Amino acid sequence: MGSIRGKAAIVGVGEVPTGMYPERSFIDAAVTASEMAIKDAGIPKKEIDTVLPIIVVANPLDNANMVCSWMIEELGLGKTAKSNFMVASGGSSSANALKTAVALITAGLSKAVLVVHSDRLGTGLDLASAITQFAKVSTSQEYEIPYGFSQLALAGFLQQRYMFDTGTTERQIAAVVVALRKWAALNPNSIFYQKPITIEKVLESPIISTPVRRRMMNKLCDGASAFVVTSATRARDLTDKPAYVLGIGSRCTNFTVTHQPDPQKAWAPAARDAYRMAGIGPGDIDVAEIYDAFPTFVLMSMEILGLVERGAAGKFVEEGHTSPGGKLPVSTNGAMMAQGHTGAGGGPALLVEGVRQIMGKAGERQVPNVKNVVVTGSGGVGMDFHVEVLGKEV
């Protein structure tokens, strides 16, 4: 496998607050986040020659317009842009967009790439439609849906099996929510800003899909984020703290959960590939930005990434090690469980947060002396698993 280690870097990020914003238009959020990223990068706008919008879930027309170069026109790039094309793989879209951007740059086909996501799952999609959409996506029309299967059912199956296999307790599952809410309480862009929660509050909430409780679920929101990727050489001209892309590893395994292999075995090679390319190991990671959707996914991913031993993640989180001030901060923006679920935007938001940690721009959430950050993404009902390693140094 070829290596892209240190050949490209993320130099600027932008994000609008996540939550319920009926007065904020889709395109306004997208443009605002993009302009923030370009300004943060300190790069002339004309150098952005490729725009990669990420799939829009709430509104098919918005999605089609983003495919048809809406951002090129809105950002005034019509005289200089070379390409606009959409990257769509659900929650792993940002990982695939980053891979695409790095490939274009290292091949000499692009100087600077803008990746942008915007969606309005909070106010642009009615609740009944949202439930129906998420119940049916990435499930078999012939063999799963007729029996009542949905993504919520998957969450229940996943949590119950994980608890059975590892001895993880419900209290430890709840501790994941609490840890993420602690980070979100420090994040002004989170829907749960300044709103921490207790384990007791999580455990007293009603069962939704046994054994998943209501406060173990993410909240659908409006949001937008963006980041700019360029060559490592150009990055050093723009900032003294670029977030170098050191390693990327990926595995795509299935469509339906019926055919999903054991994630611990099937996805671990993605982490190994990313670490090998980056030239580091799990012990060198200072911050982990983990794609979640549900708390069990955080625990499983920590183990797949080799950050803790199999079955040890629940106790590790319960003891506070992933919370602010802990020895291994996890999902420092609060992730989808606590910042908010914006469709395919969970991945971009985590990647943006990872860049902030590398560049020292995370505000109250800033972890001291960050050198290496690992970021994950996954789409569908767990159809794939992507691992990106960002570093302060090449």
Average pLDDT (69-83) is 97
Q: Residue 1's pLDDT is what?
A: 57
In the chain, % of residues over pLDDT 70: 99
Average pLDDT (93-107) is 98
Q: What is the pLDDT of residues 333-366, one digit of tens each?
A: 999 999 999 999 999 999 999 999 999 999 999 9
Of 137-141, 207-211, 311-315, 326-330, least confident by mean pLDDT is 137-141
Average pLDDT (68-88) is 97
Domain residue limits, the chain: 8-124+220-238
Q: Residue 153's pLDDT is what?
A: 83
Q: What is the pLDDT of residues 237-255, one digit of tens each?
A: 999 999 999 999 999 999 9
Question: pTM of this prediction?
Answer: 0.96
Residue 132: pLDDT band (50, 70, 90) is: confident
Handedness of CA 356, 388, 329, 159 (dihedral sign): positive
CATH top-level class of 8-124+220-238: alpha beta
